[in-house]
């Protein structure tokens, strides 16, 4: 039996963007709602969750990432607004949205996802929604509390940043929370 790792592909974020998100987290935290906050170092823009993959597949996944990235240049993105998945009545995830070059980002994500299908990865049933998970909601939260948070922070906006690379991450689940380790970095440079 081959050894496997839990993995995903994501766009890393600059520290300035993470600090901006942390400020939002801290302001919402003051409301005293029971949420499990994503650690600053773990905030990223997921493009594709791969799940458990054999260690022997890392090189093939990396080559596929590089082939997908060949047709794309760095993208200017920003963080704007917040919301919840799946909805206000039963929120499970508190997220920050993306703006800027999201059309390019969506096109790139679709190209990446389609290029991974020959390696045995299934296409997501849900359409891609570019977001940053900032908290997981474990206990029941009243819709009015979520509405207040969205009204207060729904218009926040970060400065733009340039997404220049994607990273294949290993996700090691620990009792204290996940630990993400970058395994392969691929630059976005249109040939």
Structure tokens at 138: 């474990």
Distance CA(97)–CA(45), nearest Å, equals 10
Residues 30, 148: Cα–Cα separation, whole Å: 13
Q: What is the pLDDT of residues 162-175, one digit of tens each?
A: 999 999 999 999 99
Q: pLDDT digits over 42-81, tens only?
A: 999 999 999 999 999 999 999 999 999 998 999 999 999 9
Q: Which residues are catalytic?
A: 44, 131
Question: Would you mind telling me the total number of residues written for the chain in this entry?
Answer: 191
- Homologous superfamily (CATH) of 4-187 is Cyclic phosphodiesterase (3.90.1140.10)
Structural Rg of the chain based on CA atoms:
17
pLDDT in the model for residue 98: 96
Which tokens hold the place of 32? Answer: 């005293």
> If pLDDT is split at 50, 70 and 90, which confidence band does 31 have?
confident
Query: Would you give the distance in Å from CA 74 to the centre of its chain?
Result: 17
Q: Is the pTM of this model over 0.85?
A: yes
Note the pLDDT tens digit of each residue in 95-154: 999 999 999 999 999 999 999 999 999 999 999 999 999 999 988 888 899 999 999 988
In the structure encoding, which two tokens stand for residue 81, read together? 């607004």
Q: Between helices 143-153 and 15-29, what is the axis angle to 10°?
A: 140
Question: Mean of the pLDDT values across residues 26-31?
Answer: 90
**In whole angstroms, what is the distance from residue 75 CA to residue 73 CA?**
6
């Amino acid at each position: 039996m081959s050894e496997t790792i839990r993995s995903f592909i994501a766009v890393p974020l600059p520290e300035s963007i993470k600090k901006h998100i942390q400020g939002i987290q801290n302001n919402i935290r003051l409301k005293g709602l029971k949420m499990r906050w994503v650690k600053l170092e773990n905030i990223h823009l997921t493009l594709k969750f791969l799940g458990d993959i054999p260690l022997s597949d890392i090189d093939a996944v990396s080559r596929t990432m590089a082939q997908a990235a060949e047709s794309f240049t760095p993208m200017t993105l920003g963080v704007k607004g917040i919301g919840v998945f799946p909805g206000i009545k039963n929120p499970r995830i508190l997220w920050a949205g993306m703006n800027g070059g999201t059309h390019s980002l969506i096109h790139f994500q679709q190209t990446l996802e389609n290029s991974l299908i020959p390696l045995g990865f299934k296409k997501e049933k849900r359409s891609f929604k570019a977001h940053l998970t900032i908290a997981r909601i474990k206990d029941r939260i009243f819709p009015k509390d979520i509405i207040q948070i969205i009204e207060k922070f729904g218009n926040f906006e970060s400065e733009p940043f340039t997404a220049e690379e994607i990273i294949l991450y290993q996700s090691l689940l620990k009792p204290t929370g996940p630990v993400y380790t970058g395994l392969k970095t691929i630059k976005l440079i249109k040939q």
